[in-house]
Amino acid sequence: MKALVWEAARTMTLREEPAPAAAADEIVLRVAYAGICGSELSGYLGHNALRQPPLIMGHEFAGEIVELGALVPEFKPNLTTGSLVTVNPLWYCGDCEFCAAGLNQLCGNRRLIGANRPGAFAEYVCAPAKLALPLPDGMDARIGALTEPVGCAVRIGELAGDVADADCLIIGAGPIGLLSLQMLQYQGAARVFIAEIDAARLAMGEALGGIPIQASALDTVEMVREATDGAGVAVSLDAVGSALTREQCVAATKASGRLILSGLHEESSAMPVAAMIRSEITAVGSFAYTPANFARALELLAAGAIRLDPWVHEAPLDEGGTWFERLIEAPGDVSKVLLRPTPL
């Protein structure tokens, strides 16, 4: 099969690789669409210890089942050859305290498809059957491939809690920022401010109903404070993860408010902790999604409640390397690139 193999920092090559075969509890999919994730851009640059070359990345995908392992019909009878599925790419053990609590994304034994085992930037991908979800009737695989990033936004919305009639701030209008914006709106938030340096991304946030803050020209904290009579927002989300954006989120959050940290740009950075103490701000990390969040994401996509169109760009697999470079340098008005291994 054809596969896009990450071979070294900034080197991605289309190669002929052996096609995978399903073990007894696995399935093999013919990949229809596989999205490029922000975490894979840092992996591609070599900034990410989780990913080691040579590696077939790709954890946001949907496709058609072409092979079922021998035991699959017994424990997952809803999976059939020829049907379209998406896959929660985070394998979990199912036995630990976090798995027992439904927080499977925190499982100490977790493994990510596209990082710890070959991913979906290939014609075929093999996955544990327990992680597969059939797409609802009539859903295009193109939409199904967005389930994973939408799942991250569902988790962020869950951790935000009750945001009804509350003002919120999101810093960063990448895919997670844009999806979280829609999630907070769906949960009844009053105003959602969205701050972003890149003009094209900011325009996407504005088109989705966010109140734009051009962060390269304006002071995000000042703008938010002014618009909220000096109080700040009830919930802020840092979808970037730099020292500056983390600080800004603290400064823009009102007393007793909540700060959600999802951006992973910098591994560690200083935080204004005294301000958090004096304002009793709750800070919480948000990582991936629970299996329940993942299933909910698929429902929200099926209901048309959340979207990335018209900023989804489809590209053939052999253009993958070019798109990694473009997403790093100047993405422009493209929010999500979906690679298509098989010509339509």
| Residues contributing to the site for Zn ion (CB under 5 A) | 37, 92-93, 96, 99, 107
Q: In the complex, what is the shortest distance from the CB of residue 315 to Zn ion, in angstroms, rounded to a whole number?
A: 17
Q: 81 or 109: whose CB is closer to Zn ion?
A: 109
Q: 37 or 87: whose CB is closer to Zn ion?
A: 37
24 φ/ψ angles, rounded to the nearest 5 degrees: -55, -35
Cα 201 from Cα 178, distance rounded (Å): 9
* C-beta atoms surrounding 271 within 10 Å: 16
Q: 96 or 244: whose CB is closer to Zn ion?
A: 96
Residue identified by tokens 């504005």 is 206
Cα 2 from Cα 22, distance rounded (Å): 18
Q: For the chain, first and last CA: distance in Å?
A: 16
Q: 6 or 92: whose CB is closer to Zn ion?
A: 92
Q: In the complex, what is the shortest distance from the CB of residue 314 to Zn ion, in angstroms, rounded to a whole number?
A: 17
Q: 107 or 223: whose CB is closer to Zn ion?
A: 107
Cα 272 from Cα 251, distance rounded (Å): 8
Q: Cis omega (within 30 of 0) on the bond before 310?
A: yes
Which one-letter DSSP state was computed for residue 265? S
Q: 69 or 149: whose CB is closer to Zn ion?
A: 149
Q: In the complex, what is the shortest distance from the CB of residue 136 to Zn ion, in angstroms, rounded to a whole number?
A: 21
Which one-letter DSSP state was computed for residue 117? B
Are the CB atoms for 139 and 78 separated by under 8 Å? no
Q: In the complex, what is the shortest distance from the CB of residue 170 to Zn ion, in angstroms, rounded to a whole number?
A: 17
Q: In the complex, what is the shortest distance from the CB of residue 90 to Zn ion, in angstroms, rounded to a whole number?
A: 10
Smallest Cα–Cα separation from 149: which of 229, 60, 216, 254? 60
Q: 109 or 256: whose CB is closer to Zn ion?
A: 109
Q: In the complex, what is the shortest distance from the CB of residue 222 to Zn ion, in angstroms, rounded to a whole number?
A: 33
Q: 37 or 261: whose CB is closer to Zn ion?
A: 37
Q: In the complex, what is the shortest distance from the CB of residue 117 to Zn ion, in angstroms, rounded to a whole number?
A: 15
What angle (nearest 5°) sits at the alpha carbon of residue 113, between those of residues 24 and 326? 145
Q: In the complex, what is the shortest distance from the CB of residue 144 to Zn ion, in angstroms, rounded to a whole number?
A: 14
Please, which residues have CB within 8 angstroms of residue 260's CB and are 6 or more apart in sequence?
156, 159, 160, 235, 236, 237, 238, 283, 284, 285, 286
